[in-house]
Structure 1
Amino acid sequence: MSDPGPRVLAVTNMYPTAVAVQMESVARLGAAVAVQFIDGRAGASRYAAAVGRIRRLARSDRFDLVHAHYGLSGFAAGFQPLPLVVSFCGDDLLGTPARRGGITPKSACVRWLSRRAARRADAIICKSDELRDALPHPTDRARAHVIANGVDTDRFTPGDRGDARRRLGLDLGERLVLFPHTPDVPRKRFDLAEAALKVMAREGLHLRLWAVSGVPHAQMPDYYRAADCLLLTSDQEGSPNVVKEALCCDVPVVSVDVGDVRRWLDRAPGCCLVERDPVAIAAGLRQVVCGRGRVDGSTVRGEVSTDRVAAQVLAVYREAIARRRMSAGV
């Protein structure tokens, strides 16, 4: 009989979202998972209150380790006795860009707390090489694994553009550039995307910048399939799921070089990595929109399937448990 999987207490301030997808896939491979949600939007006091709650759960003999998602969750989970895995996602280690340069004071505090969480962790997961490199201590970087979030490749699959547009009530002949973020988030740089489309309009090529946010995740595949391409202009990202999801749907991507985007675009010829400049972005859009229309995302689908990523996460769990036992002399 095979050994039972680890009993995992998942702590997160981002639930549902990609955290739910990852923990569900880990559970499918045999782990027992319980989720402790910290609603950080209700104030910093929620993190302070979570410290005692997490400690009590960790001492209940119901779990083998704690997996915290995001640096603040990792800090709150650092005061309990079980092996600790912390996943870093983006601005928790990089900070949030300020309008006048540098990072915002609030995100500087988050980054400091996240670094403390990394010091306490038995194993670390970073969504990109950039995030691993942002860990200031060499010993933290040495036990950090780069594992991007997985994608449900049974749901995010290629499909007919016309059928998707009919389901969404969209014009079949319109050229749509999907901007998969809320326009009023400054670091997503909707202004840069708008400027690029204005350049194209002056050259006689008219595209519609289609900003999509707040759509239930289960409905997103049709939004990708309906688009001519996805455009990413962010100043900062970790490992943007929207890029991987679009490629899994065989939708081409035009993006600035941010986070781990280069890694995925290299696996799907026909996409375009561009400078953070309206003219360069416009040239990339022209190349993609006037090109063959779809890309081959099969390589990406093979690398980001949720089961494959879940197996990598389970290996990190085993490493964290073994490291703690070794340090305890067990």
Structure 2
Amino acid sequence: MTRTLVVSTSYPAFAGDPSGHFVASEVEAALARGEQVTLVIPAAESPREAALGLRLVELPANVAFGAPGVAARLMEPGQRLKRAVGLMRFLLGARRSITRLSRAEGPFDHAALHWLVPSAVPVFPRGSARRVELLVHGGDARLLARLPRPLARGVIHLAATRASLTELRTMSQAQLDGLARLADLSRFTRRRVAPCALSLGGVPSRQEARAALDVRGELLLVVGRLVASKRAHVALTAASALAALRPVRVVVIGDGPERARLEAAFPHVEFTGALPRDRCLTWLAAADGLLSASRDEGAPSVVREARQLGVPVVSCAAGDLMRWAEIDPGIVVVP
């Protein structure tokens, strides 16, 4: 039986929690293949239940991780020191736990490290797995791009030496190209683009979703963390211009430090706050369109979900969206 290690700083804390849902889908796929999975993640407020075949290693982190993102949580007034300490506790605890397990049981057959920073560097001890798969998402790709180039290059080269077989997996071609501009990627045994799996089981039909939510007219959604980089104000400005021409209901799903400012600027828009994943998908199934204005994306999960549900998307150019739009008429990319 293949022994697989998964390390992630984001994972659902409870049923319906959207945090790290794509990591959970990857874990479910590994379990379905018959792999024995050890999952190293930050502890939630309440202990999680482990599925059959899953060994959970939950480590204290003083709630440093979670929505709307570690950077925003670290900047929250009155919480900075506590969460900074929590971040360090998790990083050190994860490294010690992986070292202990690999020494006691031998190196893992496969390690899937979500977010190159910090899961690969500095958390993962070299040689703790025979094969390492580094999964780069949006947050770590943006962080590496903002670091001084010599530092970013050093981090990427360190990551490439985590095992004798080290694979670099990005969510988009744009991310892979961006990393290639920062460092020589030839040290990686393999490089590929493969977005994480998405699970959309149990989503109601459009008709059922609209009835459940009492949606009667045209519905446009903006979905995501309400942080500056997501540029929700751009999407809402466009939606407001459309609403001035015809009746349109505009709903924002998500929370974050930008929410109060957005609510004041767009009083006609409905803000639901963060919703359980199944509820969010119900809204998405009911929608006539999804608006996305972020330019810092690789393979946006919400766009992929919308298209799987047949919902049209209007988006700014980001990640691989231009490539997707070339083969999917349901995606319109605007400047």
Structure 1 residue 151 corresponds to structure 2 residue 151: no
Query: Whose RCO is larger (CA < 8 A, sep 6+)?
Result: 1
Structure 1 residue 43 corresponds to structure 2 residue 93: no
Partner of 2:282: 222
Contact 1:255 1:274 in 2 (8 A): yes
- Within-5 A mapping of 1:128-147: 128-135=172-179, 136-140=183-187, 143-147=190-194
Q: Decide whether aligned partners of structure 1 residues 245 and 73 sit closer, same or farther in structure 2, where only a CA change above 3 A counts.
A: same
Partner of 1:95: 143
1:79 aligned partner, one-letter code = R
Deviation for aligned residue 1:64: 1.7
Q: 2:11 aligns with which of 2, 15, 20?
A: 15
Q: Decide whether aligned partners of structure 1 residues 153 and 49 sit closer, same or farther in structure 2, where only a CA change above 3 A counts.
A: closer
Report the aligned-residue RMSD: 2.8
Q: TM-score if structure 1 supplies the norm length?
A: 0.70
2:304 aligned partner, one-letter code = K
- Residues 25-81 of structure 1, C-alpha deviations (whole Å, 9 max, x = no match): 121022221211144533233212221111111223263222111121111114343
More helix by share: 1
Partner of 1:127: 171
Q: In the aligned structure 2, how far is the partner of 1:13 from the partner of 1:143?
A: 24
Q: Decide whether aligned partners of structure 1 residues 35 and 66 sit closer, same or farther in structure 2, where only a CA change above 3 A counts.
A: same
Q: Decide whether aligned partners of structure 1 residues 104 and 79 sit closer, same or farther in structure 2, where only a CA change above 3 A counts.
A: closer
Select between 85-94 and 212-221 the one with higher mean Cα deviation: 212-221
- Residues 168-206 of structure 1, C-alpha deviations (whole Å, 9 max, x = no match): 2x3312x221111133x001101101221233245x234
Q: TM-score if structure 2 supplies the norm length?
A: 0.69
Contact 1:236 1:259 in 2 (8 A): yes
User: How many residue pairs get matched?
Assistant: 259
Q: In the aligned structure 1, how far is the partner of 2:32 from the partner of 2:279?
A: 23
Q: In the aligned structure 1, how far is the partner of 2:157 from the partner of 2:171?
A: 15
Q: In the aligned structure 1, how far is the partner of 2:321 from the partner of 2:203?
A: 18
Q: Decide whether aligned partners of structure 1 residues 53 and 95 sit closer, same or farther in structure 2, where only a CA change above 3 A counts.
A: same
- Structure 1 gaps, min length 5: 97-101, 276-330
Structure 1 residue 27 corresponds to structure 2 residue 68: no
Q: In the aligned structure 1, how far is the partner of 2:89 from the partner of 2:151?
A: 15
More strand by share: 2
Partner of 2:253: 212
Report the identity percentage.
28
- Structure 2 gaps, min length 5: 13-19, 43-60, 66-85, 255-273
Partner of 1:192: 234
1:178 aligned partner, one-letter code = L
- Within-5 A mapping of 1:174-193: 175-183=218-226, 185-193=227-235
Q: In the aligned structure 2, how far is the partner of 1:228 from the partner of 1:146?
A: 30
- Within-5 A mapping of 1:1-330: 4=1, 6-16=2-12, 17=20, 18-38=22-42, 39=61, 40-41=64-65, 42-61=86-105, 63-71=108-116, 72-75=118-121, 76-83=123-130, 84-95=132-143, 103=146, 113=155, 116-120=158-162, 122-135=166-179, 136-140=183-187, 143-155=190-202, 159-161=205-207, 163-168=208-213, 170-173=214-217, 175-183=218-226, 185-202=227-244, 204-213=245-254, 214-275=274-335
- What SS class does the counterpart of residue 285 from structure 2 fall into? helix
